[in-house]
Structure 1
């Protein structure tokens, strides 16, 4: 079987991956589309540092038992067609288009379908999924849009955790895939005014397409001089952004950090304390939010099609990783095995 794997910091295609065999409670699926996530790019360049950081955190929802000297499977934003169910497994019939949270259940063992030496992800022709976690893709939704359920769920989770009200103003700093998903989720929630800031003209245009009412180029001045947000979503993940946002934020506003910088950062707590600012860090999504994201896409509440800027084969995953580094070219690239 063919799959693209991370090897020595680069993505390479293998033709000799053993065929996965579904066990009890699992299904074998044929991958239809898998989005390339920014976290995959970061892991490819800084995997060792990421794993060392994770080892220091208690109760972290991510396995760090990964050998970077061996091939690493990736790909967690996927849609797939069921081929075969494992023994004593109740699942939708073969041929059904599904998606799932990126989790594989094997008896009492829980593995993330994110980075693994053994659990095959969505950058492959076939993979295993957990039958209890499957969601059937409704309304004849095509596989490419269905594959964007996971990133939209991340945006939905950030919006839910912010507890933003419809009449409040939101400012999204950073219009990469995460920021765009937050904008889409805010628009779906009926927020009256959504402002978005990014240096990239193309990303600002996409932000407007996905629901932003106002876009701001930080090169022309601080977005806080243009808009007075009740909730600020930080979706950049670069050191210094949080501190500057706290310095400029209005009194009694809320800052939601989704960017998740892996580097040490400096924040002056006085900026938040003096203005009574609530600071929230968020990650991932719940099963309910994942299901809600799929429903929003399938019902046409959120059109994720503008986010898809290219599709590539397994042989082109390496080029996709390179292409996503240019904000003027891409938002979301899909791998279609």
Structure 2
């Protein structure tokens, strides 16, 4: 099959062997696949990518040795492997979380050589982990269920409730997904910040209540106006007086060294900080601030199948407008240039590959 294969720190379009479905697996033909920021990071800084994966308990494969990326996919069933239930017939459009396991071992689709991703013409997927694309939903939009499901999990894990204040820092696809997931649940106000005017406009379209250009202003100055106590003393006093306190949740979706330190400095006491952006380099923090403020720092990664299914349903019924973040499509021959283009946030937010 034709595929985009990583090589050193570049990518080439070439022929690679067709994957073969094993026990409980399906052979599928790729219909669409989103380009994820994780792919950009993995190609640009493979040492940090592998070190982060290894130290967090995963089994990393070196992108420089040749991988077919692509874990945000929609595909069409071509063939049922041995031991499958054949619940969905050949020709059915499906999508699903990029989790794979079988006789070949376990891995993430697109990051393991035995499970080539959607930057190729064919993939193998586990039958029990695919969802049929709902009728009327464009596979190019269904492919984006994965990043929006990651955002759904981040919102789930944050514990945010109606009436809380949400701050979303960084409006790449995941940050935009967080905005969409929050508004789909009726959460507000949602304050969203990014240097890119284009991405701020996309966040506004997804329902963000207030927008900030960090070069001009930040959402941190809004706590008092929104009724969020910033100091420990204020929270203690409110507790003694029985006064209801408005909580805040900050979603850090940038993943660049230095941002988390700024969040800890400026987050109000008692707030929750969600680590959504994947920073793969060491950072400098002041733990004493987090301690004194009684901050909750919580990580989130990927999405479970149930979260994926719920997100797919929300996209299909229009509660989440996933298609609004697509700013371009390319074929396999355009993937390498798309990686370059995505480095300029004012040009693109999400590019979808259509093999």
Could you state the TM-score of these two structures normalised by the residue count of structure 1?
0.95
The match for 1:75 is 70
Shifted more, 146-155 versus 46-55: the winner is 46-55
Residue 315 (structure 1) aligns with: 333
Q: Residue 214 of structure 1 corresponds to which residue in structure 2?
A: 210
Partners of 2:66 and 2:300 in 1: how far apart?
Answer: 30
CA displacement 1:20-76 (0-9 Å, x = unmatched): 22222111111000000000000001112221333333xx2x321x24452112100
Q: 1:286, CA displacement in angstroms?
A: 1.3
Distance in 1 between the 2:43 and 2:309 partners? 29
CA 1:114–1:108 in structure 2 vs 1: closer, same or farther (change >3 Å)?
closer
What corresponds to 1:29 in structure 2?
28
Runs (5+) with no aligned partner, structure 1: none
CA contact (8 A) 1:197 1:204 kept: yes
Distance 1:75 1:93 in 2: 24
Q: Structure 2 regions of 5+ residues with no counterpart?
A: 229-247
Q: Higher Cα Rg: structure 1 or 2?
A: 2
State the Cα distance separating 1:211 from its structure 2 match.
Answer: 1.5
Give 1:86's aligned residue.
Answer: 81
Q: Could you give the per-residue CA deviations for residues 198-244 of structure 1, whole angstroms, max 9, x where no partner exists?
A: 11111111110012011011111232013456111000011111111
Structure 2 residue matching 1:290: 3-state secondary structure: helix
Give the Cα–Cα distance (whole angstroms) in 2 for the partners of residues 211 and 67 of structure 1: 39
Higher mean displacement: 35-44 or 187-196: 187-196
- C-alpha separation between the residues in 2 aligned to 1:130 and 1:248? 44
For these two proteins, the number of residue pairs brought into alignment is 332
3-state SS of 1:161 partner: helix
For residues 146 and 68 of structure 1, what CA distance do their matches in structure 2 show? 26
> Do 1:21 and 1:128's aligned partners in 2 also have CA atoms closer than 8 Å?
yes
Q: Which secondary structure does the structure 2 equivalent of 1:124 belong to?
A: coil
> Structure 1 residue 108: deviation in Å?
8.1
Match of 1:179 in 2: 175
2:46 pairs with 1:47: yes
Partner of 1:305: 323
